[in-house]
Structure formats: structure tokens, C-alpha cells
Amino acid sequence: MSASRKLFQAARSLLASASQRSSSAAILAAEGRTAALATLTNLGRKTLPTAYAYHKQGSHHASSGWGAFAAAVPAAVYMLQDQEAHAAEMERTFIAIKPDGVQRGLISEIVSRFERKGYKLVAIKLIVPSKEFAQKHYHDLKDRPFFNGLCDFLSSGPVLAMVWEGEGVIKYGRKLIGATDPQKSEPGTIRGDLAVVVGRNIIHGSDGPETAKDEIALWFEPKELVSYSSNAEKWIYGVN
């Protein structure tokens, strides 16, 4: 069990116990808040917070401060829940810079937008896909009249295939990219700033979790995906 999970469970236990105490809590309100602060400042450490010691020692001094602690500890619980949510929401998405984006020299511009947002690059390669491969990529559009044109274009030159990791990267990655039609893309998006027509909209991004999973598996072998910790993560997510 992770340290944050242990702290979360301990805080929930403290809150449940506190709700059963007497209403004399106001006497030591400041003391209760101090205990809650100790919980927060010890977040992520392997030792239990000072607040837990209040629960254990059973003195009158500690008991009378329980109600105040109950008023303050939800903030600690909330922050612990928030830390747990960070790990749960981490996901990966497939992003490809199409031949037009590569030929126009937009690789660094596009990559920098994802990096500046705070997402982490975990796989990248430059390849020229075959038409058969392009057909696999666009298989969900095989009944559309423009299917062959899409496949011809994707296989017409080098494609920069990437996998990006981060919280909400699938949904927000699509927002960074913009609408399929650049004319309908908002200024500030990649297509809104850098593309003009639908047939040359420079970039592709997975539109959902299942699509991301399938596209990553199509373009990359598992061994090509790199799992690592970035020094920037604590500054991006606020989690040590």
C-alpha cells in the first residue's frame, strides 16, 4: 500500500473518530488546526503524522482538541484524495505529425507545445508508413469517400509518431490540436495557428482512451515505450 494511501486511510479514521467526540472542541481550536497542519506537512512521508499521535495518546488535552481537529482535518483528507486522483488520472495518448507538418518544419513547434503544457514524451520515431499501414490506422473511416485519399497522403512521406503521457492528456491533447477543419479551430490551437485546409491539417491525435490504446499498439512495440520519472513532475502536479 502506498504511503499516501496509508495517510488517506489514517485521516479518514481520524475524521470518523472525531465526529463521535464531545462538543468541547472549541477550547483548543488552534491546537486542532495545528494537528491538521501536521498531517499536511507530513504528506508523503513514511511516518504517521503528528495528528495521528493525538488519536493514540488518549489524554484529556488531546481529547478536548478533537472537535477542532475534526473541523480542520477535512482539508487534509481532501489533499490526500487529490494526490490519489493524480495517479489515477495519468494516461497516454498517440500523437502523429503528418507528412505536411514534417515537411513544413513544424516538429519543434508542435513538440514544444505539448512540453510546455507539462506532458511527458515517452515514445517517438520518424517513419514512412506503407499504404497498407495507413489503412489500418484509418480503418474506422474505410466506408468514407475520402478514405483512399487519407491513406495516400499519410503514406506519402515521413510521419513523426509519438506517445505523450500526463493527466488528461487524451482529452486536452485534442484541445491543443484543435478542430479537424483548421478554419473552425480556435486561435492558439495547433491547427488554428498553423494549418489552413482540412486536407493538410498537419497533426493527428487519439480521440478517446480506447482509440489511444489501439493506436499506440499499432504504431509502437511495448519495448519502445519508456517509463520514467521527470524532475519537472513535482512542479507540474504538486506531488513529491
**What are the binding residues for ATP?**
98, 146, 174, 180, 191, 201
Q: Which of 55, 86, 137, 204 is catalytic?
A: 204
Binding site, annotated residues: 98, 146, 174, 180, 191, 201
Which residues have C-beta within 8 Å of that of residue 86, sequence separation ≥ 6?
Answer: 167, 237, 239
Got the DSSP string for 48-85?
A: PPHHHHHHHH--HHHHHTHHHHHHHHHHHHHHHHHHHH
Q: Is residue 60 annotated as a catalytic residue, yes or no?
A: no
**Cell triple for 195:** 494549418
Please report which residue ranges of the chain form alpha helices under DSSP H. Answer: 3-18, 29-41, 50-57, 60-64, 66-89, 99-103, 107-117, 131-137, 147-154, 169-177, 190-194, 209-219, 233-237
By annotation, the residues acting in catalysis are: 204
